[in-house]
Amino acid sequence: MTPWPHPIIAREGWPFVGGSVLLAAVVWALWGFAASVLFWLIAGFVLQFFRDPQRQVPAGDGLVLSPADGRIVRVVETHDPYADRPALLVSVFMNVFNVHSNRVSVSGRVQNVQYFPGSFVNADLDKASLENERNAVVLDTAHGTVTLVQVAGLIARRILCYVGEGQHVSAGERYGFIRFGSRVDVYLPLDAMPKVVIGQKVSATETVLAEFRAS
């Protein structure tokens, strides 16, 4: 996969940005600026939602990078249902004001991609991990299996994933997008050492979620 060059606005957003700006301009032309203020505010919200800034990959070996901007809502040992193994789960919740471009946490090869239809409860809730619509990417890495799960939220209605089985991906590489509020679950080997706590704000690629122990 060729990394997306991050041109400030995500490619997924151009139809929404263009449509909202066009609507605001039409209302302004027909009924004046005062009538168009609300539509310009909506266009501004859409523009900020689809921003896709460049991120710097931290230097170091054995780092697990955050796959998304947002807030940590879970750090717990649990069962990874996608790779059928015990795992350390770190969950990042994204609200509508966060960047929603998803990045790869650890370099490796895509073992498989699994899509599951489901409901759309608040992604801040623990049950969203197993009940909501979601897409899981299972990676074979130098440190063991790592599973990245994009989870739809209360108003999110579209999960986009751009990687496929057998593909090699690099840490920090853009691999997907979720529209309008959601979460990403990261399942790691149990020997990974968490570096974040519940409630902490994180940035995609730039925040280290965990580290693998040196072999």
Q: What pLDDT is stored for residue 2 in this prediction?
A: 42
Greater confidence (186 vs 60) lies with: 186
Does residue 14 fall inside a structural domain?
Answer: yes
Same domain, 42 and 106: no
Greater confidence (156 vs 87) lies with: 87
Cα–Cα distance for residue pair 21/37, rounded to 1 Å: 11
Does residue 3 fall inside a structural domain?
Answer: no
Does residue 155 fall inside a structural domain?
Answer: yes
If you average pLDDT over residues 151-177, what whole number do you get?
Answer: 87
Same domain, 132 and 192: yes
Domain that holds residue 15: 8-52
Does residue 171 fall inside a structural domain?
Answer: yes
If you average pLDDT over residues 110-123, what whole number do you get?
Answer: 80
Same domain, 171 and 76: yes
Same domain, 159 and 110: yes
| Options 20, 66, 107, 182, the catalytic residue | 182
**Rounded to whole angstroms, what are the CA distances from 40 to 13, 33, 37, 117?**
16, 9, 5, 34
Same domain, 86 and 44: no
Min mean pLDDT across 95-99, 160-164, 178-182 is at 178-182
Q: What pLDDT is stored for residue 1 in this prediction?
A: 42
Cα–Cα distance for residue pair 70/152, rounded to 1 Å: 14
Q: What pLDDT is stored for residue 126 in this prediction?
A: 66
pLDDT of 180 strictly over 80: no
Residue type, 97: F
Q: Which residues contact 55 (CB under 8 A, 6 or more apart)?
A: 6, 103, 172, 203, 204, 205, 206
pTM, two decimal places: 0.86
pLDDT of 162 strictly over 90: yes
Same domain, 71 and 48: no
Q: What pLDDT is stored for residue 196 in this prediction?
A: 97
Min mean pLDDT across 74-78, 100-104, 188-192, 206-210 is at 100-104
Does residue 37 fall inside a structural domain?
Answer: yes
Same domain, 112 and 41: no
Does residue 133 fall inside a structural domain?
Answer: yes
Q: Checking DSSP bridges between strand 193-194 and strand 134-141, what pairing results, if any?
A: unpaired
pLDDT of 10 strictly over 90: no
Cα–Cα distance for residue pair 58/155, rounded to 1 Å: 32
How many folded domains does the chain comprise? 2
Residue type, 174: R
State the average pLDDT for the chain: 88
Q: What pLDDT is stored for residue 77 in this prediction?
A: 97
- CA nearest neighbour of 139 among 118, 108, 176, 94: 108
Same domain, 36 and 86: no
Does residue 58 fall inside a structural domain?
Answer: no
* 22-70 pLDDT, tens digit each: 999 999 999 999 999 999 999 998 887 788 888 889 988 899 999 999 9
Q: Is 192 left (phi over 0), alpha (psi -120 to 50) or beta?
A: beta
Q: What pLDDT is stored for residue 72 in this prediction?
A: 97
Same domain, 71 and 145: yes
CATH number at residue 180: 2.70.70
CB neighbourhood size of 140 (10 A): 15
For the chain, give the percent of residues with pLDDT over 70. Answer: 89
pLDDT of 3 strictly over 80: no
Same domain, 31 and 85: no
Please say if 182 is a catalytic residue.
yes
Same domain, 26 and 80: no
Tell me the pLDDT band of 213, cut-offs 50, 70 and 90: confident
